[in-house]
Amino acid sequence: MLSVVLFLLITALPDMSFASDEDREAWHSPARLSGIHGDKQFLAGSEVYVQAEVEDDIFAAGGEVRVRDTKAADLFLAGGFVNLRGVEAQDGIMAGGEVDMSGRFSGDVIAAGGSLEMEPDTEVAGDVLMAGGRLGVSGRIAGTLRAAGGQVRIDGPVDGDVYLAGGRLVLGPNARIGGNLSYSSGEEIEIAGGARVAGEVTRRPGVDFAARMPGVAQLIVAGVLTWIGVIVSLIVLGAVLLAAFPRLVAGASDTITLRPLPSLALGVVLMVAVPIAAAIAMATAIGLPLGLFALLLYALALATGLIAAALWIGQYLPKLRGRHAQHTEYRWCLARVAAGLVVLGLVVLVPFLGGLALAIAGVLGLGGVAVQGWTLIGKGAGSSSA
């Protein structure tokens, strides 16, 4: 759903005047990070390039994300193409259409995408969890490897146990498994000459992504991966919206701060009235296009409202406090959005209260977007008539 909304946002409304030409150029221009930094770093753009030493975490999202000779605490990367070379970090969490990694991780690695490749010079001191269409693992893993995909090839050393699930599973000639190998597939695993498994090789029926873990633990792992994927997708969406429509998103956040009750009331009215009005309009042939267009704008407003609400929440968090969003730099607005989304994601996990909090945030955001959008349209009309 997020991907659909994002696609519609970029393709259907390219000429909206909520962002300046400079803002659009900033999004389409490469985002770069270099030098030495002590605090968290947030980057977003069509192309992102990182070659830096950061004492804290790095968050990067874009169409193409390249990280070179970089040191950081943790890496959180998402993009169409994610490429790492010569990185040193504790943990790495990556998602993308194509992820290619090379470096040293003192902790764990979680990666998901269409194509994942762990190069031979990669070293992971902890565990690795990978899921995607095509997976290749040639690096050294000191802990446990869990991988699931349409095609999975292991051609490097793994000191711990290995749990595999997928269509075609292959152990290359350089595979060295220090523990047990447990796999689930419709086909027998292919073991090349030279591959070694110190423990037992066990084939299990059905899809057994977590192998020996009990059923409850499997659900927890799946839930955590889903949660991370949703949060990362929303942060990417927030990066795009902030770059494309900064005055709309930031203004909506400030509207919630300054006028919370009107924003809430208007959000409730729009949340209920727009779908009903669109359904009535689409019941007639003449009103069908209008109803569809109204639903499109409604979906875009909901997505923008959620990001605006996250920005509003983020401005109250420690180390992110400060001036109103409209007077804050892009990178700090994105930091607030990311932090606010994580807070919302954690609150949603609380039964009943989580759903209520998400609904309130969505309604507030929708109302704030409507108020700010109307304000911007009014200003645009006023300047045109002048």
pLDDT tens-digit profile of 28-82? Answer: 456 789 999 998 887 766 688 999 999 998 888 767 889 999 999 999 887 778 8
pLDDT, tens digit (0-9, with 9 covering 90-100), for 163-189:
998 888 999 999 999 999 999 888 899
Which pLDDT score is estimated for 223?
62
Least confident stretch, 4-18, 113-127, 219-233, 303-317: 4-18
Quickly count: other Cβ atoms within 10 Å of residue 289's Cβ: 11
Q: Please tell me the distance from the alpha carbon of residue 45 to that of residue 63, in angstroms, as a whole number.
A: 7
CB 148 within 8 A of CB 164: yes
Question: Cβ-count burial of 280 within 10 angstroms (0-12 exposed, 13-18 middle, 19+ buried)?
Answer: exposed
pTM of the model: 0.55
Whole-angstrom distance, CA of residue 15 vs CA of residue 303: 18
3-class state of residue 180 by DSSP: coil
Edge-to-edge strand list for the sheet holding 103-105: 87-89, 103-105, 123-124, 140-141, 157-158, 176-177, 196-197
Q: Exposed/middle/buried for 232, CB within 10 Å: 0-12, 13-18, 19+? A: buried
All structural domains of the chain with their residue ranges: 28-89, 96-212, 220-381
Contact criterion met (CB below 8 Å) for 79 and 99: no
- State the maximum Cα–Cα separation within the chain, in Å, rounded to a whole number: 80
